[in-house]
Amino acid sequence: MEFEILAPAGSQESLVAGVRCGADAVYLGGKVLNARRNAGNFNDEELEQAVDYCHQRGVKVYLTMNTLCKDSEMVEAYKLVEKALSYGVDAFIVQDIGIIRMIKACFPSAKLHGSTQMSIVTPEGVHALKEMGISRAVLPRELTAEEIAEIREKTDLELEMFIHGALCMSVSGQCYLSSMIGQRSGNRGLCAQPCRLSFSADNSKSFDLSLKDLSLIRQLSKIKKLGVISLKIEGRMKRPEYIAAAVTAVKKAIHNEYSIKDEILLKSVFSRSGFTQGYFNNDMSRDMFGTRQKEDVVAASNVLKELSHLYDNENPLVPMDLRLECLKDKPVTLTASALGKQAEVIGDIPETAINKPMSRESLAERLSKLGGTQFYAEHVEVLLDDGLIVPASKINALRREAVQKLCQTEKKRIQTLPMEKIKPRATAGRPYFTARFSDAEQIPNQHPFERIFIPIWSSVEDFIDNRAGVELPRGIFGKEEQLEKRLLQLKKAGVKNALCGNLGSYKLAERLGFNVFGDFGLNIFNSGAADQIHSPILSFELTIDEANTINAKDTGIVAYGRLPLMLTRNCPVKNKIGCEKCWKNGSLTDRKGMVFPVVCSPYPCVEILNSVPVYMADRMREIKTDFIHFYFTDESKTDVEKIISLYKNGNRADFDYTRGLYYRGVL
């Protein structure tokens, strides 16, 4: 099995840098619906040229459509897929299950890769991707080697993983910090990276959400044994020199030529106090954290010019086979084969040599002069009758014409089907209430909730006494078997409902026979996505108006609660002050003095909650979804009873709160 080196291309120059340094594939974005909207990206004409450039060099192109899509943007998404397929794009990297459904329904030939933003962390999640028609899973950066091995053992999808580049603190697809603070959503491609600012677990102005960059280039032999086929480099926002250095380093490592010198060069071009292999090695210590230092910036300025020379000129990376027939009384014929294609060019009839006739060796040498192109001569065959001669200029012309023919691109005809129009949503009555509680002790004896859920680690007695459904954790790394055993135990005890915010847990609970309900972590953003999930709690990055118009059966929004802004595998409090000083009462303080509670659990993730709750009791008339959901976290039973009363009466709050993004929206 050969590795695929997958390089980022945020601009044309970065594309050229990656390809000339040896990338086997590139991933890039159009001007819309991609997770790096601040990169240069490619308009329609540039995208077509980029695909031609890459295909002429045997390099695949994957188009990123890895953001959430509004109903109002679905036609634009359709047009982008249609154009990209006509240009020859090899695959689409997707996040939104509504986009996935549209592409599979309208473009049967399209190949799809499930983005890391889909938060697929278990074998069951990968099975869910396969059911959707996805051929490759892009694994989250938070997985350990053992967890990747388990996924490989239990699934047969292609696996792609990040091996170098920036490392987010949050689990991929589960970060809402940037959108809540400044409307710039990571799920919409505009993350402002607030995690790189000061968020301190001990109020010391430290940077407890900023991780070092990932680098697993020294782990390729282990990665190969795990069955991963594609090695992905992060960096569509990075300079071309960075792309060149990273691709070159990975290529050297594949050939066992990666050295300390190469690593130092890679650190110099960009790092945050060095690199980490943390999650992969299951070492989530303080050493994973780092920030961009002055010396890092100085080091980069010293190596950029050196690195730019890596892609100054075309590198001969594509093998070509050549066959020349130079026979008496017949036109000279050159056949060239490369890139899975064959080109034949015909010249003049050779003349009889007066003095020194041509030799096979001299002709082979001339045909091999492919300098300045992307090709090199791998096999050259010459059939030559004795005593003949052809001017060197004509042999050169035949060679150039053959190269030109091989570089011609043929546009594919694609099968397209029309997209169904999104119908207006029927007007709903007054929303009914549902709730989740972090602890059964919070649940009032009398309450108005049609469905209630408590965490899976609650006691069986709590489930029975409160007739509660089970809330499954979003972060289930390596815990799928444990989760299944616990669900079977709860099912036997009579628990029927399951609230799931991860595709893997959703499919698992569904397979085990629970009544499954969709939680906010599924990032349901449009009608096509909502239609695939039972009673979904819509993304709280939608505005009220956008949520109200989602046309699917039984939709809801989170109308009260401290919204989880991050799901993190590495606990920032534990790594700063230690669990013995936290006692499950940790928090982070930002540079403005706002306090964000940090909630841990028996499962391997923590949640960072917003500093104040969303509150909508006095705006209930504006909510037209079928239900509203209450997300209770640190409230007492008395607090809960007060909140219920406020919502029944539509009163204003007498405490600090936010409207979230329901009126601001995300960019």
Q: 408-434 burial string, b = 16+ CB within 10 Å, else e? A: eeeeeeeebeebeebeebeeeeebbbb
Question: Under the phi-then-psi rule, with left for phi > 0, alpha for psi from -120 to 50, and beta for the rest, what region is 566?
Answer: beta
Specify whether the CB–CB gap between 634 and 664 falls below 8 A. Answer: no
Does the pLDDT at position 88 exceed 90? yes
Token pair 């008395």 is found at: 638
pLDDT tens profile 414-457? 888 888 888 878 777 899 999 999 999 999 999 999 999 999 99
- Number of CB atoms found within 10 A of residue 367's CB: 23
Instruction: Kindly list the strands in the beta sheet with 432-437, ordered across the sheet, starting from the edge strand earlier in the chain.
Output: 515-518, 497-500, 469-471, 449-455, 432-437, 627-632, 556-561, 614-615
Predicted local confidence at residue 331, as pLDDT? 96
User: Can you list the alpha helix ranges (DSSP code H) found in 270-414?
Assistant: 294-308, 360-367, 392-406
Predicted local confidence at residue 620, as pLDDT? 95
Coil, strand, or helix at residue 664? coil
Q: Which residue has the higher pLDDT, 185 or 301?
A: 185
Mean pLDDT of 250-263: 93
How far is CA 632 from each of CA 14, 89, 214, 443, 656, rounded to the nearest angstrom? 47, 46, 35, 10, 16
How far is CA 586 from each of CA 195, 439, 634, rounded to the nearest angstrom? 17, 17, 12
The token pair at 332 is 């000279």
Lowest-confidence pick of 266-280, 479-493, 636-650: 266-280
pLDDT tens profile 311-355? 999 999 999 999 999 999 999 999 999 999 999 999 999 999 888
Predicted local confidence at residue 35, as pLDDT? 60
Mean pLDDT of 245-256: 95
Does the pLDDT at position 36 exceed 80? no
Lowest-confidence pick of 7-21, 265-279, 372-386: 265-279
Cα separation, 158 vs 62, in Å, equals 14
Mean pLDDT of 538-567: 96
Confidence of residue 1 (pLDDT cuts 50, 70, 90): low
Coil, strand, or helix at residue 81? helix
pLDDT tens profile 356-392? 889 999 999 999 999 889 999 999 999 999 999 999 9
Q: Kindly tell me the sign of the dihedral angle through the C-alpha atoms of 180, 183, 432, 492.
A: negative
How far is CA 476 from each of CA 215, 288, 310, 645, rounded to the nearest angstrom? 24, 21, 42, 35
- Angle, CA of 642, 648 and 654, to the nearest 5°: 45
Mean pLDDT of 507-531: 97
Residues 6 or more apart in contact with residue 559 via CB below 8 angstroms: 431, 614, 616, 617, 620, 623, 628, 629, 630, 647
pTM (predicted TM-score)? 0.94
Instruction: Give the single-character DSSP code of 431.
Output: P
Q: Write down how long the chain is.
A: 667
pLDDT tens profile 553-600? 999 999 999 999 999 999 998 988 888 888 788 899 999 999 999 999
Instruction: Give the single-character DSSP code of 510.
Output: H
Does the pLDDT at position 37 exceed 70? no
Predicted local confidence at residue 580, as pLDDT? 80
Coil, strand, or helix at residue 169? coil
Does the pLDDT at position 652 exceed 90? yes
Predicted local confidence at residue 482, as pLDDT? 95
Predicted local confidence at residue 217, as pLDDT? 96
Does the pLDDT at position 64 exceed 70? yes
Predicted local confidence at residue 422, as pLDDT? 83
pLDDT tens profile 184-201? 988 998 888 999 999 998
For a pLDDT cut of 70, what percent of the chain falls above it?
Answer: 99
The token pair at 225 is 């044994």
β partners of residue 325? 333, 383
Mean pLDDT of 621-628: 96
Cα separation, 143 vs 475, in Å, equals 11
Does the pLDDT at position 546 exceed 70? yes
